[in-house]
Amino acid sequence: MTLSALVSLFFGIVGLLATEPLATFGGFVKSVPSAGLGEFLAASYLGYGVMNWFARDTRDPVARRAIAFGNLAGWSLSLALALGEVLTGGAHTFGWPTVVLCAVFSAGWGYFAMQRARAHAHLRVRDAAG
Amino acid sequence: MSRSTFASIAALVSFVYAIPGLVATDAVASLYGVTLDRTATLLSQLLASSYLGYAIINWTTRFSTDPTVWRSLGIGNLVAWAISGIISTLIATSGLTNAMGWVGVGLSIVFTVGWGYFTFAVREAREAAAPVTAPR
């Protein structure tokens, strides 16, 4: 969770403060809509970073599971989109590194989401048994 | 309005923005009077997928009573909405979008104020109401 928070914070801050250099370095086609959307995306990542950072010590099992599933949804959909972009010829400097990053964090959040779902189910069974 | 109701509304708004943004990206952009190139389409879909994550987190934690969860989710949402509000305002005032751009500005203001209230104002009220225990 801490690692994911740091990665999100990094991409959020860099995306907000250096949108243009980042687009140039990445080989993206620069346009007004893409610059604006890039900033919205960076703001969203910054929010994830802050959320994951402050929630890293929470002991609430429901919240831990929710955060894991929320992050898993974001990362795995991003993985599918990034992979689709690379495979359909939209490759740029960030193409494969983005795919790898998304795959690593999808796997990580997937692991924690499943582990927490199992722990939650175990608790419910124990509660039901009295 | 309770925090759980507010978190539910925030989750629904994120969901409503996420699903069309993922499956009908160009149609949503045309609502705002914007034409997307390939890069902008990808960024728009990545943004929609991150909104889906927010929707899941806010919806599934709406009944949480853990103050750490309240604070972390509140600050995270507040940061994202506040910065998005500034970007939306800059875009809307520069005339890059049609009048729909102001809907985004309005939503950003409402949710920035709301998350700010439930993160700071309500927390202070809870702390002030908490009984003070005397040292032994």
Single out the residue of B46, B43, B93 nearest to residue A102, CA to CA.
B46
**Residue A27's pLDDT band (boundaries 50, 70, 90)?**
low
CB contact under 8 A, B60 and A70: yes
**Nearest CB partner across the interface for B80, out of A34, A47, A65:** A47
Asked if residue A65 and residue A16 are part of one domain, the reply reads: no
Q: Last residue of some domain: A56, A81, A97? A: A56
Asked if residue A68 and residue A41 are part of one domain, the reply reads: no
Is this complex scored with an ipTM above 0.90?
no
pLDDT (average), residues A18-34:
74
Is the distance from CB of A12 to CB of A43 less than 8 angstroms?
yes
Asked if residue A123 and residue A109 are part of one domain, the reply reads: yes
Asked if residue A4 and residue A44 are part of one domain, the reply reads: yes
> For A43, which residue in chain B has the nearest alpha carbon?
B80
Kindly give the residue spans of alpha helices, DSSP state H, lying in A28-94. 32-54, 61-87
Asked if residue A69 and residue A126 are part of one domain, the reply reads: yes
Asked if residue A73 and residue A40 are part of one domain, the reply reads: no
Q: Last residue of some domain: A41, A56, A71? A: A56
Closest-CA distance of chain B to residue A57, Å: 8
Single out the residue of A14, A90, A103 nearest to residue B39, CA to CA.
A90
Amino acid at B32: Y
Asked if residue A124 and residue A72 are part of one domain, the reply reads: yes
CB contact under 8 A, B80 and A44: yes
Asked if residue A74 and residue A50 are part of one domain, the reply reads: no
- The Cα B59–Cα B74 span in angstroms is 13
Asked if residue A34 and residue A64 are part of one domain, the reply reads: no
**Residue A7's pLDDT band (boundaries 50, 70, 90)?**
confident
The number of distinct structural domains making up chain A is 2
Asked if residue A122 and residue A70 are part of one domain, the reply reads: yes
User: Is B126 exposed, middle or buried (CB count within 10 Å of its CB: 0-12, 13-18, 19+)?
Assistant: exposed
Asked if residue A126 and residue A62 are part of one domain, the reply reads: yes
Please tell me whether residue B47 adopts helix, strand or coil conformation: helix
**Nearest CB partner across the interface for A45, out of B39, B45, B50:** B50
pLDDT at B42: 87
Residue A125 has φ and ψ, to the nearest 5°, of -65, -40
CB contact under 8 A, A50 and B79: yes
Domain with A20 in it: 1-56
